[in-house]
Amino acid sequence: MFKEIAFPEFIGETEQAVVLVVPALDQDLSVLFNRFHEGEEIDYWFKWELKSGETDGFMVALQIGWDEEDVISIGFTFDMWEYLPVITKRSNLVLMTDWALIEEGIAAGMDKMGRFRPKALLVRDVGQGIDELSSTVAEQAMFSEKSTELIQLLEILQRSFVSGYNMH
């Protein structure tokens, strides 16, 4: 089932991944985290989309889904678009819902029995689909009154491709 769009409260990067802290998704992801921690293999999918608001302009959304109806959506506003090439370059995204993992480290992810069970989801190859998003943005830019904003997004997305090629 489609939920509202949640926004990251923190975006950071390591050498291996971009880290997003989105506490608003804690309840939506708690069952999924429990299933992962119990060793269940869960197939998930993700896709990048361009969203437009009546007055807000445009937003990029990363949708992540599993099972048949569970979907979360993370929004990247105009101010966050500069992170898109970094996300593509790092290729991996760690989605966390608990600030304690940043503030306290590994100890915050330990349960009462001493098992490491962080409220975190690793999304691999998260840059896949940016090319499709770029095509959508280019198409929309041709017909939108707000084309300058879309052209700026397109330029940012194109940096994602250049970054990706430099990694090989």
56 confidence band (pLDDT: 50, 70, 90):
low
Say yes or no to pLDDT of 164 above 50. no
pLDDT value for 102 = 85
pLDDT value for 106 = 83
> What is the pTM assigned to this prediction?
0.87
Tokens 């937003």 belong to 59
Please name the residue ranges forming H helices in the chain.
Answer: 26-37, 84-90, 100-104, 130-143, 147-166
Tokens 């790092």 belong to 90
Q: Are the beta carbons of 37 and 115 closer than 8 angstroms?
A: yes
> Tens of pLDDT along 76-97?
999 999 999 999 999 999 999 9
**Would you state the torsion angle of the CA atoms of residues 68, 5, 79, 49, taken in this order, to the nearest 10 degrees?**
40
69 confidence band (pLDDT: 50, 70, 90):
confident
The rounded percent of the chain whose pLDDT value lies above 90 is 69
Candidates 75, 77, 61; CA nearest to 149 is 77
Candidates 44, 34, 42; CA nearest to 115 is 34
Say yes or no to pLDDT of 150 above 70. yes
DSSP labels, 86-123: HHHHH-EEEEE--THHHHHGGGGGB-TTS-B--SEEEE
Burial class (CB in 10 A: 0-12, 13-18, 19+), 107: exposed
